[in-house]
Amino acid sequence: MHVTAIIAAGGRGRRLGAAMPKQLLDLGGRPMLQWSVDAFLACERIGDVIVVGPPEWVDAPPACLRRPGIHLVAGGDRRQDSVANGFDAVPVASEIVLVHDAARPFVDAETIARAIDAAVESGAAVVALQARDTVKWSPADDPVPAGGTAAHRLVERTMARDSVFLAQTPQAFRREVLAEAVALGRAGVEGTDEAALAEQAGRRVRIVAGSARNMKVTTAEDLAMAEALVHGRNLRPAGDRGLPVIRVGSGYDLHRFVEGRPLILGGVTVPFDRGLAGHSDADALCHAVTDAILGAAAQGDIGQHFPDSDDRWRGASSIDLLRQAAAVVAGLGYRLVNVDATIIAERPKLGPFRTAMAAGLAAALGVELSAVSVKAKTNEGVDAAGRGEAIAVHAVALLEQLNP
């Protein structure tokens, strides 16, 4: 079954009071938008990811969207207009379509799967959290006392909280159901979300269990709470010291030199008379780092994810493979703290290229340059690397598990 995810990221976030769109604000060392994008890219059941952003992004996308697997679409004036534009880009083969708010950075694979399964069974599904607080009803048109504010409104009645659910995203639909909702929105019907439009189209929407972690970042206070979630601060049970769980992974790779291929390390083409043999572009530095981050998350190695028996990876850019591996790790709830790699080569001299290599790795991993170290050593004439027959790379990665 082909499934497409639409991530609505066209808002300006004025209520947050930031100088840039809130979806690009830093959250745990990554743009907030990247958290949502990574979660869907890492989900094996998602075939396509469509990001609907401000129109200016189409020609100049943010760095976190310049990678394979993402289709960027210009948004509209309202949220429902943006989702409609995203729906126009959904592949014909797609049977289930999810809509997710970029401002909900902590969506997880289990929630995505529940939404997909419910849409398959019922046609439309909304992730929602049952109200935990007592719910008071005060009509929007209730008059405000003279000299007062909205905070002075009066309670008309108390509602049964067992019947109240707070909608989250993703919302999932069979293609034809979302098509009806989009058509209503284009005809002028207003809806605060696609589930509301589907309801007005006569569809029954199924409720899927949400999560308190799947919060929406709207205000500066929300952003502070999101940062606390990322770093495991202040949101743990009383008596829990809130120490993060640290995972360490190691990676190693070796490729022999061959004639007629470019020498690529860390995505950087290094001038030399030979390159490295391999099924992909044979970037040994990227391969070792990929194994290190996958190993830290107990997700196997590069050969399991990108086997050399698969022609899809023939000549592939290893920096792109690293980017995909990073998305897998992020989707499992890990944050990369740092990477340290050592290249062992007699020739060529790699010192002048180390900074560019580190920058390439940092961009693929979605971290600051200061979190990546690349060193170059010789092997003093010992073994294949020392004889100039090959290049070897050792790498270590440190991951922090978010709210284990």
From first to last of its 404 residues, the chain has per-residue pLDDT tens of 999 999 999 876 555 555 577 788 888 878 889 999 989 988 889 999 999 999 999 998 888 888 888 999 999 988 899 999 999 999 999 999 999 999 999 998 899 999 999 999 999 999 999 888 888 888 876 555 555 555 567 888 998 888 899 999 999 999 999 999 999 999 999 988 999 999 999 999 999 998 888 999 988 888 888 887 776 644 444 334 445 678 999 999 999 999 999 999 999 999 999 999 999 999 999 999 999 999 999 998 999 889 888 888 899 999 999 999 998 888 888 889 999 999 999 999 999 999 999 999 999 998 889 999 999 999 888 898 889 899 999 999 999 875 55
Q: Which two tokens stand for residue 219?
A: 């205000």
Does residue 301 lie within any of the structural domains?
Answer: yes
CB-based contact 275:263 (threshold 8 Å): yes
Q: Whole-angstrom Cα distance, residue 118 to residue 206?
A: 7
Beta bridge partners of 246: 400
Whether 181 and 286 map to the same domain: the answer is no
Does residue 142 lie within any of the structural domains?
Answer: yes
What is the structure's pLDDT at 238? Answer: 36
What is the structure's pLDDT at 275? Answer: 94
Q: Whole-angstrom Cα distance, residue 379 to residue 387?
A: 8
What is the structure's pLDDT at 147? Answer: 52
The residue segments making up the domain with residue 386 are 245-401
Whether 212 and 165 map to the same domain: the answer is yes
Q: Residue 368 half-sphere exposure, CB side, CA atoms within 13 Å?
A: 7
What is the structure's pLDDT at 89? Answer: 95
User: CB count, 10 Å around CB of 159?
Assistant: 13
What is the structure's pLDDT at 82? Answer: 93
**3-class SS at 377?**
strand
Whether 151 and 281 map to the same domain: the answer is no
Whether 223 and 285 map to the same domain: the answer is no
Whether 332 and 221 map to the same domain: the answer is no
Report the domain count for the chain.
2
pTM over 0.85: no
Whether 59 and 181 map to the same domain: the answer is yes
Q: Which of 231, 257, 289 is the last residue of a domain?
A: 231
**Residue 25 belongs to a domain with what CATH number?**
3.90.550.10
**In 216-317, which ranges are continuous DSSP H helix?**
220-231, 284-296, 302-305
**In 208-349, which ranges are continuous DSSP H helix?**
220-231, 284-296, 302-305, 318-331
Note the Cα 224 to chain centre separation in Å.
19
- Which of 387, 363, 392 has its CA nearest to residue 375? 392
Whether 176 and 149 map to the same domain: the answer is yes
Q: Which of 190, 209, 231 is the last residue of a domain?
A: 231
